[in-house]
Every structure is written in C-alpha cells, then in structure tokens.
Amino acid sequence: MFNVADSPLNGNVPEGSVQEKWDKHRFNVKLVNPANKRKYSVIVVGTGLAGGSAAASLAELGYNVKSFCVQDSPRRAHSIAAQGGINAAKNYPNDGDSVWRLFYDTVKGGDYRSREANVYRLAQVSNYIIDQCVSQGVPFAREYGGTLANRSFGGAQVSRTFYCRGQTGQQLLLGAYQALQRQVNASKVKMFTRREMLDIIVIDGQARGIITRNLTTGKFETHVADAVVLATGGYGNVFYLSTNAKSCNVTAAWRAHKRGAYFANPCYTQIHPTCIPTSGDYQSKLTLMSESLRNDGRVWVPKNADEARKPEDIPEEDRDYYLERRYPAFGNLVPRDVASRAAKERCDAGYGVGETGFAVFLDFRDAIKRDGEDTVRKKYGNLFHMYHKITDDDPYKVPMRIYPAVHYTMGGLWVDYNLQSNLPGLFVLGEANFSDHGANRLGASALMQGLADGYFVIPYTIGNHLAKMEPGGISTDQPECKEALANATGRVNKLLSIGGGRSADSFHRELGKIMWEYCGMARNDAGLKTAAGKISELRDEFWSDLYVPGAGESFNQSLEHAGRVADFLEFAELFAIDAMHRKESCGGHFREEHQSAANDEDVKSGKISEGEAKRDDENFAYAAAWEFNGVGEKPSLHKEHLEFNDVQLATRSYK
C-alpha cells in the first residue's frame, strides 16, 4: 500500500526552551536589507486571511508581490465565512488565561499530534494579532465600559475568544483586504483575480513560479518569482457536502504535491458539531452554525427514543443534556471532535430528532429566560436570522436542530518551523499547511493561525530563504516553465476530449458519499480498504466517461469543476491510505478498532468514558508526510517524530 522512507523528517525546530525559540530564531535568521528587498519578487496564491495578510506584509516590507485569487475579489475568500471569533491570550477577563495555557489547550485539543514549537509560537503571537486588527479598525465586540469583550469556545475553561458578533471572519478579512489594497495602490502588489493555479514551476530543485488559467478568458499564464507562497485553504470539499464554499478545493496543494512537496496527515479532518442537518439529495453544501452558540445554547436529545412531542413541550426530566452529563467539567464546550462523536452516538442509538433522525437540539430557552431575548439577540442575532431563513424555524421560540458536518482540515502540505515545505522556495500558510492543530483544531484558532502566519511569521522566515539567493534570473522561456505550461494545458485538453456521459458533479457526489461512509466520523480497516478500491474504480470511470460541455478558451465553470474533481479523486486515495496506516484514534481521526473499553484503567478510574479516542503514542507519535510517486502508485511515507517536552503526553480528558 505504501513505502516507508529510511530517514526521519527534520522540522528545523530551533534549539532552546520553547518560550525562547521564536525570539532567538528571529535574531538568527538572515535578513534582506531594505534597499535589496525591492529586487526580490514573491508570488502569493490565495487572498484569505493567511494569503491576504502575507501579501500585504511582504509588500509593506518592500518586496514585489504578485497576488492571485480564484474569486473576482479578495473579499470573497472563504475566510469571510468564519463566524465565531479568534483566540488570543490577552486574559482581559482575568480568568486565568496565559500564553502557556493557550499553548497547552491547543496541544491537548489536537490530541498531542502537533509540533510543540509551532503551537507555542502561535500562542505567543496571538496577542499581537488583536493589536494589529484593532489598529486596522476591526470592530470587535466591546463591554459597556469600552474594553474588548471575550467569550468561550470549545476545549477551554477560560474566555479568550474575541469576536465581531457572528461575522468575525468577514471583519478580519476586510482588515487584511484594506492593508492589501493599500499595497496595490502603492504598486507593490499586482493583483490577479479569477486565476486558478494549475502547476508549480520547479527550477534547479526550487519553486520559482506558477502556471495559472484565467477563469474568465481561459488563457494560460506563466508567472515566475524568487519564492512562492501557497495560502489556498483546505480540502474539506473532497466530501462534497461540507460547510466550505463550493470554490474551495485541493488543486493548488495537490499540484504542488505532485511536484515534490510532501502532503502531511491528510486523514485529519474536522467534523464540526453545530451545522444545519442535511435535508435532501439536492443540496450541494451545508451551513455552519457558529460554535459560539454553545456558550449559551444547551445540547440535548429526548430520553425517550420514541418521543413524539414537540421539543418545547418536552419537560426537563425527559431531556438528556448528554454533553453536560458525560463531560461535566466542560459541558457543552468540549472540543469539536468530542461533541461530534457524542452527537453521532446518540443518533446512532436512536435518540436523534427531526425527520431523518440525524440531528440533536441546540436550545436557547434557558439563556433567553436568564438574560432576556434582547441580550441573546445582540450576541447571536445574525446567526439566528440565518437559521430562521434556511429552516423556517424561529430559534427564539424552538430549539435549533444541528448535526456534525465536515468543516476544516488539519492535514495539509508539510512545512518546517519556517513554514517552508520540503520543496525549497515553496512556503505554505494557514489551512493549506499541517503545522499547528494536530489531529483536531480548537474553535476560533483557524483565524488565529492564518493571521499569525501571514502577519507575523512569513515576513521573517521568507527573508531567511531569499537572503541566500540572488534575485531574479528566471525567464518564462526556460524549459521548466514551458514543461509546466504544457502539463497544465494538456490536462485541461484531456478533460475536454473525453466526451463521456457523466457530469463532473455526479462524480463528485459519488466520491463524497464514499468518503462520508468510509472516511467520515468513524473509520475501520475494512471500510478504508473498501474506500480505496472504490475511489480507484471511480477515478478510472471519471477519465473514461466524463463529459465537459463548452470549450477551454472561455468562461467554463464545468471545466473548472472537472479539474478540481480530478484532483480530489487522486487525493482521496491518499486520504484513505493515510487513515488506513494510522492504526490509532486521535482527534478527528477515529478508528472503531481503537477506542476506550470498559476494562481500560482510565475508564475504570472514571477519567474517561467508554468509546473515547485511544491513541497509540508508542507507534504513531509522528506527522505522516507522504511523497507522490505517481497516480495509482504506492506513496512513500516520511515520518517527522513529535517530541513533547513541555506538554506531557496524557490521555485527553474533558470530564
């Protein structure tokens, strides 16, 4: 199924205590002086929080930046959809928070499968992010006295999440966008909208450019630079139904992978517990309900599996607040993977609600009674409005119905401490890399990572790379550029020439069903082997029976989708292989063969319950980075062993 490389991967983590690593590293990295920065050029693919902040910051330093996005405006990047908030260790509520506690909570929340040094740096720069965004005018919620407000999110017992009602991602993106547009106006950033990256140009073993296709005209373009930054988001749409925007895809990361960049931990997928349930086969995506709702909403199901009464008519004694019952210390604010599995367990046991039986209640009755409807409306009004518009149920009067759905991906291209992939010159930021969240991301940490990478990490680390090379010297006429262009155009022409009878969307739906059934919230060896076989068969059928209408030299969304589905069909097989090889349960990767049992010491002591994720630290305390060896060929596994010197390995408990 796969080959194992002999030598372990080196994450290039600096020496010294975890508290001092980043400060010392910033001093030790090589610098490019201000006069020389204008001689270097950098390509940034993606204009979400990570890409937008990176492009703006690099241009502010003096580099010449080319910025690319698939949308018609950077403001439409999927970061805009983030609702609940952004974490930082400011400790404004004075409730015991600190940089160390944020570091600890993140490592524990990721089920001890992240690189400690990266996580501490993330916690360390979190406070700078809030200062930066306030300076930009981001309208964070404030207390009556004017101080910034905080609320709680899953996996923490402190309130450290800063928020803009239910529109935090949008407001943060507008802050990054205005910084980016300032540099566009100063001619330090050249913006390319409606462009899709279809290949990486590798010259002398280094990433030196990209091939793009203009989605409006169909024209292919070659762009070269001294370094390439990918900030293209995650691959959750491999499941077809997810909370991601339909334009979210794996293509940029996968094409980089096929050029030599390792892909790490693809099986680490986050299933978000509070999403509007599926209502029919006609759906093409799902809608997220912010985790912030679990601050005041209580999750429950009827105690009677045959309950026929309306939820508002079910008395307290007939309600099972199962998260509060199972995890009294954290209650409804357990991490997402824990809450999602608990909802699935209740529904599988026959206690689910709604027409399908695959939903649980999220109820604000007690919060409205305690604080008043006006207070709840001020906190969550836009979220309640969105839910009402979609479901025609008024959550001020009846409980919301929610069920887990694919939301985020912790896997991504492997990067070292400098956020550089194993392919020199290729840097990967935000959700597109694997580095900070381990096997499960805590709520409100995606925005934190994206802005940390873009504003406060890449400006230092990319300079260390550029200082070791002469600027420029690359022409689009070089053989490597022509080969990459021919590869991209050839693939598009092949898609157009198949002339079969099925749409790309039909293949994508079928792939999504395979992924959800065998690679979703619960996985097992037999199911993963079945998935790998079915994916391979579906991929063969795709290349023999796909039909793409229209031409390549014009606006053609069917062609766009076909290219992305082709990449999903290759990537999905690696996903299944990674999940199959990791014979343990950790975070969002839950193997049914590896769960806590009644005779386990931690269960008998009451530390955890039966059915919780059971890690195998002796054999799997590593990041799995996969090398591409050809479509359908065995990939090679490279291991980066994870060391836990500051947060000791322990059974994760939220009881």
pLDDT mean over 70-91: 95
CA torsion angle 361 362 368 374 (round to 10): -130
CB-based contact 413:530 (threshold 8 Å): no
Residues in the chain: 655
Identify the band that residue 404 occupies on the pLDDT scale cut at 50, 70 and 90: very high
Report the C-alpha gap between 610 and 592 in whole angstroms. 12
CATH no., domain 487-641? 1.20.58.100
The owner of tokens 């439409």 is 76
Give the integer Cα–Cα distance in Å for 629 and 446: 31
pLDDT in tens, 604-655: 999 999 999 999 999 999 999 999 999 999 999 999 999 999 999 999 999 9
274 burial class (0-12, 13-18, 19+ CB within 10 angstroms)? Answer: buried
At 327-377, the pLDDT tens digits run 999 999 999 999 999 999 999 999 999 999 999 999 999 999 999 999 999
pLDDT surpasses 90 at 194: yes
Contact between residue 403 and residue 343 where contact means Cβ atoms under 8 Å apart = yes
Which residue reads 């395979």 in tokens? Answer: 514
> Is the pTM above the cut of 0.75?
yes
Encoded tokens for 51: 């890409």
Answer whether residue 282 shows pLDDT above 90.
Answer: no
Calpha distance 363→300 (Å, rounded): 8
Tell me what pLDDT residue 289 has: 94
pLDDT per position as a tens digit, 24-61: 999 999 999 999 999 999 999 999 999 999 999 999 99
pLDDT on residue 281 = 84
Phi, psi of 9 (to 5 degrees): -75, 145
pLDDT reading at 138 higher than 90? yes
Phi and psi based region of residue 514 (left: phi greater than 0; alpha: psi -120 to 50; beta: remaining): alpha
Interaxial angle between packed helices 116-136 and 99-109, expressed in degrees from 0 to 180 and rounded to the nearest 10: 120
Give the pair of three-digit tokens for residue 148. 């910034």
Average pLDDT taken over every residue of the chain: 96
Residue with tokens 């392919």: 423
- Give the residue carrying structure tokens 């599988």: 348
Rounded distance, CA 254 to CA 29, Å? 29
Q: Which amino acid is at 385?
A: H
For residue 637, the model assigns a pLDDT of: 98
What is the rounded distance in angstroms from the CA atom of residue 360 to the CA atom of residue 307?
13
Q: Where are the domains of the chain?
A: 273-405, 487-641
Report pLDDT for 165. Answer: 86
The predicted-structure confidence for 18-31, as pLDDT tens digits, reads as follows 999 999 999 999 99
Would you say 475 and 523 are in contact if contact means Cβ atoms under 8 Å apart?
no
Please, which pLDDT band fits residue 423 given cuts at 50, 70 and 90? very high
Least Cα distance to 85 among 410, 383, 396 occurs for 383
- Rounded Cα–Cα distance for residues 300 and 191 (Å): 48
pLDDT digits (tens, 9 = 90+) for 503-522: 999 999 999 999 999 999 99
Q: What would the two tokens of residue 548 be? A: 């793409």
487-641 matches 273-405 in CATH topology: no
Are the CB atoms for 636 and 577 separated by under 8 Å? no
Q: Of the residues 151, 195, 294, 336, which is catalytic?
A: 336
Determine the Cα–Cα distance for residues 49 and 57; give it in Å rounded to an integer.
12
Give first-to-last CA distance, the chain, whole Å.
Answer: 39
DSSP secondary-structure letter at 108? Answer: H
Kindly state the tokens that stand for 376. Answer: 């709840």
Contacts of 143 (CB under 8 A, 6+ apart): 149
Going by C-alpha positions, the residue among 265, 292, 330 that lies closest to residue 87 is 292
% of the chain with per-residue pLDDT over 90: 97
Which pair of structure tokens corresponds to residue 66? 């080319």
3-state secondary structure of 152: coil
pLDDT for the residue numbered 154 = 94
Structure-block tokens of residue 500? 């079969």
Say if CB 542 and CB 567 are below 8 A apart.
no
Amino acid (1-letter code) at residue 623 = A
- 615 in active site: no
Whether the per-residue pLDDT at 276 is higher than 90: the answer is: yes
Quote the DSSP letter at residue 224. E
CATH no. of 273-405: 3.90.700.10
* pLDDT of amino acid 435: 83
Over range 553-567, report the average pLDDT.
97
Task: Give me 133's structure tokens.
Answer: 């965004």
Per-residue pLDDT band at 190 (split at 50, 70, 90): very high
